[in-house]
Amino acid sequence: MPDDKTMVTGTQQFSTRTLLYCAVFAGLQTLLYLALSPTTALLASIFPPGYAVAAGAYSCGMFAARLFIGRNGTATLTAAITGVLIATVSPIGLVALIPMVIAGATFDVVLLWGRRRPPRRVMWTPVPAALCSGIALFLVSLPAFSTDHLTLGVLTATLLGRAAGQVGAALLSTVIIAALSRAGVRAVQPLRGAPEGGTRAP
């Protein structure tokens, strides 16, 4: 029996410890957003493909949370917490929550589906899940494109940039988890294909 309280969301049960982990990763992600947002805002207005690559950094927190905690739904939860925190300082307010949650939910869903594939398949690794989240983010960002940027070349480069940025975030997240593991901070319930940890989620 777990010794800490739990919160039930739909059919998913999150322990207090899990919620705290999500909040920590969300807080770190928010700090990264504050550090990078001046640069990414400039890139978004003058060079969307560059923004697409750089914005992948905004997914590191949610990806790392999902890989560290090992519970389905934790990328979405971390993304939602991050979005709410960012909304307090972002000029677009709670609209910032939308792409965050879409990226986290896509990552969660693809990983959940991938875990049901045979172990030899690549679909249980974080990379395809991140790639799908990049495609989802590209689609949701289309209405924000200026007419000057609605060209085949810019759109194609932006899609590729989104894919590269999200995959890069997933790979960086695995490096972060590995570093935590070497430092003695073990993953709660490691994902197959991610760095191993010691204990299971409560």
Q: Which has the closest alpha carbon to 126: 78, 171, 164?
A: 171
Q: What is the pTM of this model?
A: 0.81
**174, 59 in Cβ contact below 8 A?**
no
Full 3-state SS string of the chain: CCCCCEEEECCEEEEHHHHHHHHHHHHHHHHHHHHHHHHHHHHHHHCHHHHHHHHHHHHHHHHHHHHHHCCCCHHHHHHHHHHHHHHCCCCCHHHHHHHHHHHHHHHHHHHHHHCCCCCCCHHHCHHHHHHHHHHHHHHHHHHHCCHHHCCHHHHHHHHHHHHHHHHHHHHHHHHHHHHHHHCCCCCCCCCCCCCCCCCCCC
199 pLDDT tier (thresholds 50, 70, 90)? very low
Give pLDDT tens digits for 44-97.
889 999 999 999 999 999 999 999 998 899 999 999 999 999 998 888 888 889
Nearest-angstrom CA–CA distance, 18 and 23: 9
Q: Which CATH architecture has domain 6-182?
A: Orthogonal Bundle (1.10)
Give pLDDT tens digits for 138-190.
999 998 888 888 889 999 999 999 999 999 999 999 998 888 888 877 666 55
pLDDT for position 24: 95
Q: List the domain boundaries for the chain.
A: 6-182
Give the phi and the psi of residue 12 in degrees, each rounded to 5: -100, 130
193 pLDDT tier (thresholds 50, 70, 90)? very low
Q: Which has the closest alpha carbon to 169: 35, 69, 59?
A: 59
Question: What distances in angstroms separate CA 87 from CA 7, 34, 90, 111, 143, one per listed residue?
Answer: 24, 11, 5, 27, 20
